[in-house]
Amino acid sequence: MKWNEGEVVENRQWNDRLFSLRIKAPAIEFKPGQFIRVGLEIDGEVLARPYSLVNSPDDECLEIFFNIVPEGPLSPLLAKLSVGDKLKVAPKTAGFLVVDEVPEVKNLWLLATGTAIGPFLSILKTEAPYRRFEKIILCYSVSTQDELSYMETIEQLLDAHKEKLAFVPFVTREEMDGAIQTRIPLSITNGELEKRVGVVMDESNSHVMICGSSAMMKDASEALGERGLRKHLRREPGHISTEKYH
């Protein structure tokens, strides 16, 4: 593959293991929710991994949000990059976790854990979802408060879309005012999430996009399955969209 040359214009550190890079790179077309491969040239070989884009398509820079995998070969190096450092960016994006793939429905639920909030922020920075859905509920689960990133961005989105957008933070390993303290799947099963937002989640009115680790996607899909929601396929429309990265 022919890689594009990118240059770091900002490295934002959120806590000891969470980072965002803004990257100046040749313009590409993509759909919000898609991912791109980003990497470094090491000993003449490009080592790259897929990262969801956090930026909106009209942003002049690309943005990725990632955590350091301590023994990983790439993320510790990406985290150390400074403004002006070069990296490799794929010329194309991929992925189907996009609003265009969602069937006609009243409410859109976005369930994310950790860095998987990224693709949903890209989606929510565009106008299309607010035109299409009556209510959009963004759920963001982290273990501890210091992992809640992009809260300014989320506040701005909430301000701009007061009637349409609801936000529910989940902080699972400590108490935080306003946050739910259980994992997302349990909050679906016990009704706490619906109660919190005052919106009923069922197969007649809801589509759910899930992004996170495979264990989280499995557990959330099972909790939704108990309510009659099933996986969405192009050939067999359903209610749950997920993305496999690796």
Which positions lie near ligand NAP, rule CB under 6 A? 51-52, 65-67, 113-116, 118-119, 141-143, 170, 172-173, 183-185, 211-213, 215-216, 219, 245
Cβ distance to ligand NAP smaller for residue 119 or 129: 119
Give DSSP secondary structure letters for 57-102: TT-SSEEEEEE--TT-SSHHHHHT--TT-EEEEEEEEE-S-SGGGS
Nearest residue (CB) to ligand NAP, 202 versus 222 = 222
Tell me the closest approach of the beta carbon of residue 15 to ligand NAP, in angstroms: 11
If the CB atoms of residues 130 and 245 are measured against ligand NAP, the closer one turns out to be 245
Beta carbon of residue 51, minimum distance to ligand NAP (angstroms, whole number): 4
Nearest to 184 by CA among 148, 216, 229: 216
Q: Min. distance of Cβ 159 from ligand NAP in angstroms? A: 25
CB of 2 to ligand NAP, least distance (A): 23
- Using Cβ positions, the residue closest to ligand NAP within the complex turns out to be 114
Identify the CA nearest to 13 among candidates 75, 58, 55.
75
Q: Is 246 exposed, middle or buried (0-12, 13-18, 19+ CB in 10 A)?
A: exposed
Q: State the amino acid at position 171 in one-letter form.
A: V
Q: Smallest gap, in angstroms, from Cβ of residue 104 to ligand NAP? A: 26
Q: How far apart are the C-alpha atoms of 187 and 41, rounded to whole Å?
A: 43
